[in-house]
Every structure is written in C-alpha cells, then in structure tokens.
Structure 1
Amino acid sequence: MHAKQPHLPADLTYYTELYPPSNYLENDELKGMSVELIKLIWRELNIPEQPIQIVPWARGYRITKSQKNSVLFTMARAKEREHMFKWVGPIYTARHILLARQDFAPRIRSIEDAYQYPIAAIRNDISEVALIEVGFPKKLIAPLTNLNQSILMLANGRLDLIILSQASIKDIVKANNLSLKDFKIVYQVNEVGNYYAFNKDTPDSTIDLFQQAFEKVEGQRRKLLKKYSLNIESLSVHNF
C-alpha cells in the first residue's frame, strides 16, 4: 500500500551537486543514479516529481544542516555527520581513492606516505572528511569547490594528488577532455555508504516512510547500480 501524501511534508526542498555518476547534467537535464532513484521513491510515495536545486556542495550542506525540510544528496554517512542529519539509504557504496598523474613515481603504501604532498579535496565534502578521519593533516588539504577544478590542477601539474570517488573518475576525465591513461590510482582511503540526507528536524515518521519506499524499490536500485557501474564489488582498487 502506498503511503498517503498527508503524512509527508509538502514543502521538502531537494538539493544536489554535480558529481557524476550520482548526479550530473546531460543536455541540461539532471540525471544519475541518485536522481533516478529519488524519482522512484517519490512514485512509490505518490509524491509528484519535485524540483531539484543544483548547488555547490558546501552551500547545499550548509542549507540542509540549518534549514528545516531540506534534503541533500548524495551524502556520505561519515561518523562526524551521523547526528547532524537524518538518513535514507544507502544508495550505493563509494570508494574514495587518491589519484595521481601517470608519471607520479612515489609509492603510497599508507596515508603517512602522502603527508609530503598537498591533496586537493572538495570543501566540506566526504573526501575532505575522509582524509581527516584517517589522520591526514588538515593544513595539507587544498580545499577546492568542484571536481573539474581539481582534475585540471592535477593534469596541469599544480597538484600531485587529489581525492575523489573511484566511480567518478571516468566521467570527470571525459568531461574535461582528458585521457584516463594519463592518471593512476595510488591509494584507497576508505569505503563509505552514500545516502539522502534530511535536515535533523525532519519528523522520524517522514524518514520511516522514505526508508520504507527506498526498500520497496530495491530491485530497481540494483539495476541502477549496474547501469551506472556502481557495484563496488566489481571495482578493482587499482582500476578505474
């Protein structure tokens, strides 16, 4: 039985960033794993398709943390965020890695081996959080606003290492007219579940309804994982 509309806030506002293959623009249309899945959840809940606002990650994070009835996706469920938001998911598991140019010679066997290199991470993104959680000095993190900026700085030799989701590498390299053969994965930092993050004042009853709808579309979610090559078990740590 579908959940009835009156139990759901009528004014939830949805935010996302551009971070393929989870959320991205194609011919000015918002697509991606998380986008398709939230539409299935809305359908399951008899909610009409809602507008999704595309914002820089730091802004979406700030809004969702402070404003009632806000939803941000896709957000990694890091320890430090656990009680700041309420969660529906997991949508998929992301593996965060350090990416270097192909000519980067040093071996990175532990995060300590990377201490001599500034690492670019998206400001307030899970990539920055992941580095801090594994003990990387915050003063050595180069905070940037988007993935395009970080991959271009890496390609141009202005940085030696960046951190990003492994599943995003192909899309971000292609979007910037670069070649995969010019880059390599040098270290895996973590694996973490990605979720729809709701403002912490969202009623538990609303979260429960969204989670139940999420679980009802599990079969379709698995198909989307395959479609977007987000099956973590199929990814080699050393390959794209």
Structure 2
Amino acid sequence: MLNKIICRIAFALLPLFAGTTQAADMVQILTQNYPPFSMSASGKNFEREGGINGIDKEVVVEMFKRAEVPYQMTLRFPWSRLQEMAEKQPSFAVYSLSRTVDRESRFKWVGPLSEIQLVLLKTPGNPIVLNSLDDARKYSIGSVEGTSVSQYLAKQNFTVKNVLSNAPAKLQTGEFDLWATTNPAGNYEAGKAGIGKLEVAFAISSTQLYLALNKETPDEVVQKLQSALDQLRKEGFIDQVAARYLNN
C-alpha cells in the first residue's frame, strides 16, 4: 500500500518536475512495461531512460536524437493514465500506442514503430476452440486495462477482468481462461516468465504501434521526428533492433 501511495505522489508531481527542469520545447516521453517494445531492465514499474529497454524504446531514442529534439523518458503505470497525460499535458508524448479511430483526433502521430496482432491466448493443450470471437463469450478473459485489445472487447460488450501484472502466470493458474493481449508481446512476456510459448486461441486483428504526441506539439517537430523515423526504417535500423529482441 505504501509503495502505491508513493507511486501516485511521484506521478502527480511529474508535470511540475518536468516544467522546472527543462526547456519549454523538451518532450516528456511516457511509456509502460510492454515487452518486447518497452520494459524496465529491473522489472520495476518506474524507470528513467537508462533503465528502459525494448524495440520501440531504442527506435524512439534514436529518432529523437537524429531529429535533434530534446526529450526526457519515463516508464511507469497505469497505461490509461499515461495516455491521459499525453493527451492533456502540452509537450508530453506516449508510446507504444495503437492508432485507433477513437484515438486518432486526440494526438499527433509519428510512426509506425512496430506491428502487433491482437489475440486471445491460452495455455498449451487447453482444449478451448474458438471459431469466432463470439465463441469466447462463454470463457473468462483477462487483459490490461487501457490496451487496444481490452478497449476493443469492451466495445463488443465482453466482460474483461483487469490484470495489473503477471498475466501469463495468472493464465496458467486458471484465474482466467483466455488472455486478451498482443503478439509478439504476449509470448515474449510468457517466455520471460518461464511459462513457455502460449497458443493463439483466436487472432482478432493486426495493428501498428506509434508515438502519440500532445496535439499542441508543433507540426515542425512532428515532421522532423517522422523524417528521422523514415530514415531509420530505410537504413534497416528498426529491423536490426527487432531481430535482437525477437530472435533470442
């Protein structure tokens, strides 16, 4: 409980801290534990840039450096709160965020950084067979609140249990039947947790991940970042970074 209170206080003070320690044009980049795209090297729920790893993290850092746009990066949670801050706080941004219809007008976008598949995962050998998404209604589903897949299921009137952490282990112990998440993130997390590769019970759709910037971000900054990202992709930098994480 004490740790949660401390985290809330630190999070509440983040905008004040940022405003007193940086130039006005510095971008405050927020991210979450979302392996293999962005994650704490120590497994904590709060990190600064030096303690953050991941595919999109490396791409975003290189993009900002090449575009010569000053920034600070912080990893923390909850995911829904990070999105809210990036939307409402000038000079804030968040990644890795899927560019959905509902989110489109709320941010300025740079990307894509990566591509993901929205899936329902099950443990190996689980006899659940889904021929359609509606077939999943008879089973309990766990997911992280604020993710694109949990929001999609909510719109389809699914009841989804909010999972704050350790989703692969909770799936394995039967706290829910299906894990609504994304791949490769889901199976990457399961592998790191020692669970092993999970099975795709149903593939919902594919989507791409972006850097979402506050709408007050100058168009010039957005264009500089997009040009830098396009150059990184052309050079093969993004593919090389992804291969280091996904081929291990």
Query: Do they fold alike, i.e. is TM over 0.5?
Result: yes
Report 1 or 2 for greater relative contact order, CA contacts < 8 Å, sequence distance ≥ 6: 1
Describe the superposition over 1:82-109 as per-residue Cα deviations: whole angstroms up to 9, x where unpaired. 1111110001110111111224223101
Q: Which runs of 4+ in 1 moved over 3 A?
A: none
Show the counterpart of 2:238.
Answer: 221
Contact 1:131 1:189 in 2 (8 A): no
Matches within 5 A, 1:58-207: 58-132=80-154, 135=156, 137-138=157-158, 140-146=159-165, 148=166, 150-180=167-197, 183-207=198-222
CA distance in 2, matches of 1:73, 1:96: 17
CA distance in 2, matches of 1:223, 1:229: 10
How far apart are residue 208 of structure 1 and its match? 1.2
Q: Secondary structure at the match of 1:165?
A: strand
Give, as a single letter, the amino acid of the residue that structure 2 aligns with 1:170. Answer: N
Show the counterpart of 1:51.
Answer: 72
Contact 1:98 1:186 in 2 (8 A): yes
Give, as a single letter, the amino acid of the residue that structure 1 aligns with 2:93. Answer: V
How far apart are residue 228 of structure 1 and its match? 3.1
Length-normalised TM-score, structure 2:
0.79
Describe the superposition over 1:41-80 as per-residue Cα deviations: whole angstroms up to 9, x where unpaired. 12212345x4311111122112112111111010011111
Contact 1:65 1:85 in 2 (8 A): yes
Percent identity of equivalent pairs: 20
Q: Structure 1, unaligned stretches of length 5 or more?
A: 1-7, 231-240
Q: Secondary structure at the match of 1:187?
A: strand
Evaluate the alpha carbon distance shift between residue 9 and residue 209 of structure 1 in structure 2; reply closer, same or farther with a 3 A threshold.
farther
Give, as a single letter, the amino acid of the residue that structure 2 aligns with 1:141. Answer: V
Show the counterpart of 1:234.
Answer: none
Q: How many aligned positions are there? A: 215
Contact 1:16 1:60 in 2 (8 A): yes
Evaluate the alpha carbon distance shift between residue 122 and residue 141 of structure 1 in structure 2; reply closer, same or farther with a 3 A threshold.
same
Show the counterpart of 1:10.
Answer: 25
CA distance in 2, matches of 1:86, 1:185: 33
How far apart are residue 116 of structure 1 and its match? 1.1
Contact 2:119 2:205 in 1 (8 A): yes
CA distance in 1, matches of 2:244, 2:123: 28
Describe the superposition over 1:178-229 as per-residue Cα deviations: whole angstroms up to 9, x where unpaired. 233xx32111011001000111222222211111111121121232233333
CA distance in 2, matches of 1:170, 1:154: 12
Evaluate the alpha carbon distance shift between residue 179 and residue 227 of structure 1 in structure 2; reply closer, same or farther with a 3 A threshold.
closer
Contact 1:97 1:164 in 2 (8 A): yes
CA distance in 1, matches of 2:130, 2:54: 32
Q: Secondary structure at the match of 1:115?
A: helix
How far apart are residue 143 of structure 1 and its match? 2.1
Larger helix percent? 2
CA distance in 1, matches of 2:125, 2:238: 38
Give, as a single letter, the amino acid of the residue that structure 2 aligns with 1:53. Answer: T
CA distance in 1, matches of 2:142, 2:35: 18
**Backbone CA RMSD of aligned residues:** 2.1
Q: Structure 2, unaligned stretches of length 5 or more?
A: 1-22, 44-50
Contact 1:72 1:197 in 2 (8 A): yes
Contact 1:173 1:179 in 2 (8 A): yes
Q: Secondary structure at the match of 1:94?
A: strand
